[in-house]
Amino acid sequence: MLFQSRPKVLVPEKLSQDGLALMRSSLDVHERKDLSADELLEIIPEYDALLVRSETKVNAAVLRAARRLKVVARAGVGVDNVDVQEATKLGIVVVNSPSGNINSAAEHTVALMMSMARNIPASCASLKEGKWERSKYVGVEVKGKTLSIIGLGKVGLTVARLAKGLGMNVNALDPYASASVAASASVTLVSSLTELLTSCDFLTIHTPLIASTRGMIAEAELSQMKKGSRVLNVARGGTFDEGALLAALESGHIAGAAVDVFTSEPPAPDSPAARLIAHPRAVVTPHLGASTVEAQENVSVDVCQQVLEILQGSLPRSAVNVPIILPEEYKKLQPFVRLVEKLGSLYTQHYATTSGGSMTQNTFDLIYQGELASITNTKPLFAALIKGLLSPISSTEGLNVNIVNAELVARERGIYVSEQHSRDPSEHSSYSSLVTLVARPPSRSSSRAPAADTSVPVPAQQQRIISGTCSGDQLLITRLGRFEASFEPEGTLLICENYDSPGKIGVVGSILGREGININFMTVAPLSPKHALPVPSKEGTQEPPAKGVFLKESLMILGIDRNVPPHVTTDLGKEGGILSAYAVTL
């Protein structure tokens, strides 16, 4: 992989070298352990990628300070230490490794359950102290007991299968779980938390920390459990109320608690978590669920590969704030992404120029025809359009519109786009795929997919419409307003609307020549017969035409080697028969 200058990756936590080695040949990888929050803020502007585990707080301040950051990669599952919402706003991709450590987390859960059932940590400590206390540490078997699982996702399901192997009965509460997947693992799905709590001997939670799971198991829930039952948390601190759990242990209602994760890590001295850790019937580990050689290799390789791909311009495989797009589809979309961005940019430059510099219409139909119409996930095209529309007018330096934040940016700017997939072969031309951008008056509130508004027909002359196609990597504009065009949207172009009569090319050529501007190519776009009627007018004047004289218009598109000064377009406009002249840069 070749990068023009080597992008920089910051790794402030311990990550397996297996993944980091993959990046070193093309990226500058800086391992900086034990950075303070202030130090992170200070150095983050230099970096293109940030790789973290659960300890680094990637908050809004860090993300806003990061001027070049393209990706935050979480070498693990939970992204609760990353402000994903802020990253999305800023167009920063957040990826994780959704399956690299699930087996380790599930095995750790079972290890804690068995340790708790057989008092292994306490009896081990007692023996090391020189004691021999056999009757004090009588345990319980897990075989035949009920394990209740909250969250039957990847870890929860793996725990369920392991527990079945130990001869346990397993039930689960997960409103989003598939009944057939649960049945295949012989797990009984229950429909209420009360049903789950009242039936279990061991309770384990495997959900993310979200609004519906924060403080999910507190005093009321613990009191519903059978006396002598045991609880486990290898998911996230904050799903259990640590104070309530401590009280239930102290009262003896709960026989044991096995906890790997805490509300604040490491827990503050004297906090409920710290007192829970100190309780003799608590089996605790310092967030070790994913800490195995195998899991760390898996997650490190997974996210490092993703960082490489993203910095190279590919779409991420496991992003939490980007829609999943199949690689085959993404490959097919690539040239059209470039095309649609050009359509957007041409639209803004062309129509903002002809309407006195303002983007008066902000509601668009983006119509896909031909082969392109069969691609369902066109989010990259939507993003490319927003980027193209805004890049010529945005004063925001480095406006970073991409697939991550396009919808948000569109909403904030009041741009509405209805994407339409037209599969009617009669509606598109001989091109294998065609994309058409049509502006219509604003009338909708959603930034995506309102229905086409056909109630107010727009006269052909005022219709703002641009079509284009791709052949391999080559882009072509096939229609600009009422004109049938055929030009590459590349570089600086001078677009002149003129009456289709002899001598116009010479006039333009000599004015440009006088200014020392080179013409690289020139093409004429005639008026499309089906799109509009010729406009009656009198060449070179604003006067009405002589009776029966109809002059057709056409567009002259010239590829030029540099932008034209404003006085040149004014001079061109003064020439008889040239109706407008303006330059666009694509």
Catalytic residues: 236, 265, 287
Task: Quote the least distance from Cβ 233 to ligand NAI, whole Å.
Answer: 9
| 154 vs 275 by CB, closer to ligand NAI | 154
Choose the stretch contacting ligand HPV; rule: CB under 6 A; options: 283-291, 344-352, 468-476, 570-578.
283-291
Measured from each CB, the residue nearest to ligand NAI is 153
Calculate the alpha carbon distances from 583 to 246, 340, 461, 512, 557 in Å: 72, 19, 21, 12, 9
Give 396: exposed, middle or buried? Use CB within 10 Å, 0-12, 13-18, 19+.
exposed
Interaction with ligand NAI in 55-94: which residues (CB under 6 A)? 77-78
Task: Quote the least distance from Cβ 320 to ligand NAI, whole Å.
Answer: 11
Distance in angstroms (rounded) separating the CA atoms of residues 154 and 190: 18
The two tokens of residue 254 are: 């709960």
Interaction of residue 154 with ligand NAI, rule CB under 6 A: yes
Q: Following DSSP, what letter does each residue of 364-375 receive, concatenated?
A: EEEEEEEGGGG-
Task: Quote the least distance from Cβ 112 to ligand NAI, whole Å.
Answer: 10
| 49 vs 390 by CB, closer to ligand HPV | 49
Calculate the alpha carbon distances from 239 to 153, 205, 236, 499 in Å: 16, 8, 6, 73
Interaction of residue 213 with ligand NAI, rule CB under 6 A: yes
Check: CB of residue 315 under 8 Å from CB of residue 70: no
Among 19, 289, 344, 380, binds ligand NAI (CB under 6 A): 289
Calculate the alpha carbon distances from 159 to 53, 166, 172, 174 in Å: 22, 11, 11, 14
CA 180 to mean position of chain CA atoms: 30
Interaction of residue 123 with ligand NAI, rule CB under 6 A: no
Query: Which among ligand NAI, ligand HPV, none contacts residue 173 (Cβ within 5 to 8 A by kind)?
Result: ligand NAI
Angle at 176 between CA 154 and CA 78, to 5 degrees: 45
Measured from each CB, the residue nearest to ligand HPV is 76
Query: Which among ligand HPV, ligand NAI, none contacts residue 506 (Cβ within 5 to 8 A by kind)?
Result: none
- Kindly report the backbone phi and psi dihedral angles of residue 181, in degrees, each rounded to the nearest multiple of 5, phi listed first: -65, -40
Interaction with ligand NAI in 10-39: which residues (CB under 6 A)? none
Interaction of residue 237 with ligand HPV, rule CB under 6 A: no
| 76 vs 481 by CB, closer to ligand HPV | 76
In the chain, what is the greatest distance between 2 CA atoms, to the nearest angstrom?
118
Interaction of residue 259 with ligand NAI, rule CB under 6 A: no
Distance in angstroms (rounded) separating the CA atoms of residues 387 and 519: 29
Interaction of residue 290 with ligand HPV, rule CB under 6 A: yes
| 157 vs 493 by CB, closer to ligand NAI | 157
Choose the stretch contacting ligand HPV; rule: CB under 6 A; options: 286-294, 506-514, 553-561, 567-575.
286-294
Strand partners, 259: 233, 284
Full strand arrangement of the beta sheet holding 49-52: 28-31, 8-11, 49-52, 71-74, 93-96
Neighbours of 208 (CB within 10 A): 15
What's the per-residue H, E or C state across 141-173?
Answer: CCCCCEEEEECCCHHHHHHHHHHHHCCCEEEEE
Angle at 85 between CA 76 and CA 28, to 5 degrees: 55
Prior bond of 457 cis (ω within 30°): no
Interaction of residue 208 with ligand NAI, rule CB under 6 A: yes
Choose the stretch contacting ligand HPV; rule: CB under 6 A; options: 22-30, 74-82, 163-171, 495-503.
74-82
Query: Which among ligand HPV, ligand NAI, none contacts residue 53 (Cβ within 5 to 8 A by kind)?
Result: ligand HPV
Among 99, 126, 223, 291, binds ligand HPV (CB under 6 A): 291
Among 89, 206, 338, 482, binds ligand NAI (CB under 6 A): 206
Task: Quote the least distance from Cβ 216 to ligand HPV, whole Å.
Answer: 17
97-130 CB burial, b ≥16 within 10 A, e <16? bbebbbbbbbbbbbbbbebbbbbbbbbeeeeeee
| 106 vs 415 by CB, closer to ligand NAI | 106
- AA letter at 295: A
Task: Quote the least distance from Cβ 327 to ligand NAI, whole Å.
Answer: 23
Distance in angstroms (rounded) separating the CA atoms of residues 360 and 300: 49
The contacts of residue 231 (CB under 8 Å, 6+ apart) are 202, 203, 204, 217, 222, 225, 240, 245, 254, 256, 257, 258
What's the per-residue H, E or C state across 78-128?
Answer: CCCCECHHHHHHCCCEEEECCCCCHHHHHHHHHHHHHHHHCCHHHHHHHHH
Interaction of residue 298 with ligand HPV, rule CB under 6 A: no
Among 78, 98, 450, 509, binds ligand HPV (CB under 6 A): 78
Q: Which of 105, 107, 79 is nearest to 92 (CA)?
A: 79
Interaction of residue 150 with ligand NAI, rule CB under 6 A: yes
In the block, tokens 């004297």 appear at 270
Task: Quote the least distance from Cβ 185 to ligand NAI, whole Å.
Answer: 13
Task: Quote the least distance from Cβ 384 to ligand NAI, whole Å.
Answer: 31
Interaction of residue 489 with ligand HPV, rule CB under 6 A: no
- Helix count and strand count (H, E) for the chain: 18, 22
Task: Quote the least distance from Cβ 76 to ligand HPV, whole Å.
Answer: 3
| 318 vs 569 by CB, closer to ligand HPV | 318
Judged by CB under 6 A, the number of residues near ligand HPV is 11
Check: CB of residue 434 under 8 Å from CB of residue 383: no
Task: Quote the least distance from Cβ 234 to ligand HPV, whole Å.
Answer: 8
Choose the stretch contacting ligand NAI; rule: CB under 6 A; options: 201-209, 301-309, 412-420, 560-568.
201-209
Interaction of residue 76 with ligand HPV, rule CB under 6 A: yes
Query: Which among ligand HPV, ligand NAI, none contacts residue 245 (Cβ within 5 to 8 A by kind)?
Result: none
The contacts of residue 394 (CB under 8 Å, 6+ apart) are none
Among 259, 261, 480, 511, binds ligand NAI (CB under 6 A): 261
Task: Quote the least distance from Cβ 308 to ligand NAI, whole Å.
Answer: 23
Among 152, 222, 303, 304, binds ligand NAI (CB under 6 A): 152
Interaction of residue 263 with ligand HPV, rule CB under 6 A: no
Would you tell me which residues interact with ligand NAI (CB under 6 A)? 77-78, 101-102, 105, 150-156, 173-177, 206-208, 212-213, 234-236, 260-261, 287, 289-290
Would you tell me which residues interact with ligand HPV (CB under 6 A)? 53-54, 75-78, 101, 287, 289-291
